[in-house]
Chains A and B, each alone.
Chain A
Amino acid sequence: MRRLRESLPLLPFFAIVTIFLIVPTITVVASAVIDEGRFSLDRVAALFSETALAALGRSVFLSASTALLGALLGAVLAWLIVSRPATSMIRRTVLSLCSVLAQFGGVALAFAFLATIGLNGVLTLWVQEYFGWNLAGSGWLYGLPGLVLVYTYFQIPLMVIVFLPALEGLREQWREAAVSLGASTWQYWRAVAIPLLTPAFLGSALLLFANAFAAYATAAALVSQGSPIIPLLIRSALVSEVVLGQAGFAYALALEMIVVVALVMAAYSALIRRTSGWLR
């Protein structure tokens, strides 16, 4: 009875989260396997059609390549940042910029690259004038190669944000201990720092993969025709649902996305748990 009374103030929170997060998720999962009141795998089977499989392949390629690029370059940038004192203005500025680009960029980033290497982009015109090459030729920016470039632009800052705490957790004493035992800088990195950082690095890379796999805004703003990747295929399924009788395909695709992201995030938290021992 007391417990009941004490849980009453939590009700509004649980209600909002249930209605606007849990119910939609359950709707997706249920609608993917229930058709007109009966269990059916027709919708899930549509995921193995040629279109859906090709989109999945491209999504995985896009996420994996930008996760790899973002993780490597982001780790380097994080290493540059960590050598600056925590209160320095450069560090604050760079971290704020990273945060904006990584988490809140969305459609703005698509327009950043349209302004840079689009048809009349600034870089396009410069290169045209001085070298005579056409950078924007064949419209590669609006396809998979363009997505790889723009995604890398927000994956690197995200890597900085998630990887920096691990890098900061490396204690100066460990380096001193290694050096006083006669290790060179290179030996310290190879035998101490890199083995310590590996789980955090791999975990961050997985987070980047999930981030790219689920990202929608940038791709939607950049690619207005065709649906090369899963999120854009969901868009076209949603928009044309009424017209083409594609009812339910969007649910199946969304379920596929839940499964992929959940698997990746599970691996991520398993890896991060290994770091949390020394990271504090």
Chain B
Amino acid sequence: MTTRVARAALWVAFAAFFLFPLYAMADFSTRNLLQGGRTLKAWAGLVTDEALYQSIITSLLLAVLTVVVMLILLVPTMIWVRLRAPWAKGLVEFLCLLPLTIPALVVVVGLKNVYLWVTYLLGESALTLTFVYVVIVLPFAYRAIDAALSAIDLETLAEAARSLGASWLVTIGRVIVPNIWSGILSAAFISVAVVLGEYTIASLSGFQTLPVQIVAIGKTDGPTSVAASLATLIFGFVLLLALSLVTRRRRHA
């Protein structure tokens, strides 16, 4: 009995600590400071404020590009390592998890020379951040795809496809990928969430992504920044919740 009361009290305390700031963001961003009452002006700013709107587009594009490049780079590599180059498995895993140990702040400090070349070759665009972001999302993506690959009989699938005359590209694209779809989906969702929230590298390289713009606007227009912040949190939450529901359904099937 006492345990149940204690449990309930703890749930309430945690809920208050975590949900109140989120509620406060909703309240703060809809307050009408001039006449009192409520207004959606700050929320409308997400599309009417030109700079903010542009940064949202930039961040969404970056998210999509990062996911595409990450999948093209990582999925064939991880499959190849399991099938034909097992000697490199440890090395690939080590490199994928390395960004957890090397902070983004350290990477950006050492990135200047690399980026001189990147901007020289590709021009100066926020979208060149894609390459660094691919590296930043590696640990998350690696775990998701690794779990999916471990759950299937990769060798048999590949041998069957190859012995029927499929090329490596067809084997990977049309036989293996459909079988690890849930892992690919989690890798993609988590990467999108990471990219949309990434501030360290973008701000210190001087690119105007959404989080950078949120901070810039916050100096003059608090409510709009708070609205944009809450929007990114809700977006990330919906993404991850949808993911957890989708993966459950797959596990049952």
| 240-280 of chain A: CB within 8 A of chain B | 250-251, 254, 257-258, 261-262, 265
Interface check A180, CB cutoff 8 A: no
Bitwise, A1-31 to B at CB < 8 A (1) or not (0) is 0010011011011101101110111111001
Which of A33-41, A46-54, A95-103 is found at the contact surface with chain B? A95-103
Residues from chain B with a CB closer than 8 A to the CB of A234 are 105, 109
Give bound CA distance, A101 to B197, whole Å.
Answer: 11
A172 to chain B, nearest CB (A): 17
Known: A112-B22, A235-B204. A216 touches B199 (CB 8 A): yes
Query: By the criterion CB–CB under 8 Å, are B194 and A104 in contact?
Result: yes
Query: By the criterion CB–CB under 8 Å, are B102 and A258 in contact?
Result: yes
What number of B residues sit within 8 Å (CB to CB) of A?
78
Query: By the criterion CB–CB under 8 Å, are A106 and B237 in contact?
Result: no
Give bound CA distance, A77 to B14, whole Å.
Answer: 8
B33 to chain A: closest residue by CB: A120
Give bound CA distance, A248 to B194, whole Å.
Answer: 30
B199 to chain A, nearest CB (A): 4
Interface check B51, CB cutoff 8 A: no
Number of residue pairs A-B, CB distance < 8 angstroms: 226
Query: By the criterion CB–CB under 8 Å, are A216 and B104 in contact?
Result: yes
Query: By the criterion CB–CB under 8 Å, are B28 and A115 in contact?
Result: yes
Known: A10-B80, A108-B214. A24 touches B229 (CB 8 A): no
Residues from chain A with a CB closer than 8 A to the CB of B29 are 115
Query: By the criterion CB–CB under 8 Å, are A214 and B105 in contact?
Result: yes
Interface check A114, CB cutoff 8 A: yes
Interface check B158, CB cutoff 8 A: no
Residues from chain B with a CB closer than 8 A to the CB of A194 are none
Interface check A142, CB cutoff 8 A: no
From DSSP, what is the main secondary structure of chain A's interface residues?
helix
The listed residue (A20, A93, A105) touching B132 by CB distance below 8 A is A20
Give bound CA distance, A109 to B229, whole Å.
Answer: 8
Interface check A192, CB cutoff 8 A: no
Query: By the criterion CB–CB under 8 Å, are B20 and A116 in contact?
Result: yes
Residues from chain B with a CB closer than 8 A to the CB of A92 are 241, 244-245, 248
Query: By the criterion CB–CB under 8 Å, are A24 and B215 in contact?
Result: no
| 95-144 of chain A: CB within 8 A of chain B | 95-97, 99-101, 103-109, 111-116, 118, 120-123
Query: By the criterion CB–CB under 8 Å, are A106 and B132 in contact?
Result: no
Query: By the criterion CB–CB under 8 Å, are B21 and A153 in contact?
Result: yes
Query: By the criterion CB–CB under 8 Å, are A214 and B73 in contact?
Result: no
The listed residue (A107, A116, A262) touching B21 by CB distance below 8 A is A116
The 25 sampled A-B contact pairs (Cβ below 8 Å) are A10-B77, A12-B73, A16-B134, A16-B135, A17-B95, A21-B102, A21-B135, A27-B114, A77-B10, A80-B14, A92-B248, A104-B194, A104-B196, A106-B197, A107-B199, A112-B21, A112-B22, A115-B27, A220-B203, A234-B105, A234-B109, A238-B109, A254-B105, A258-B102, A258-B103
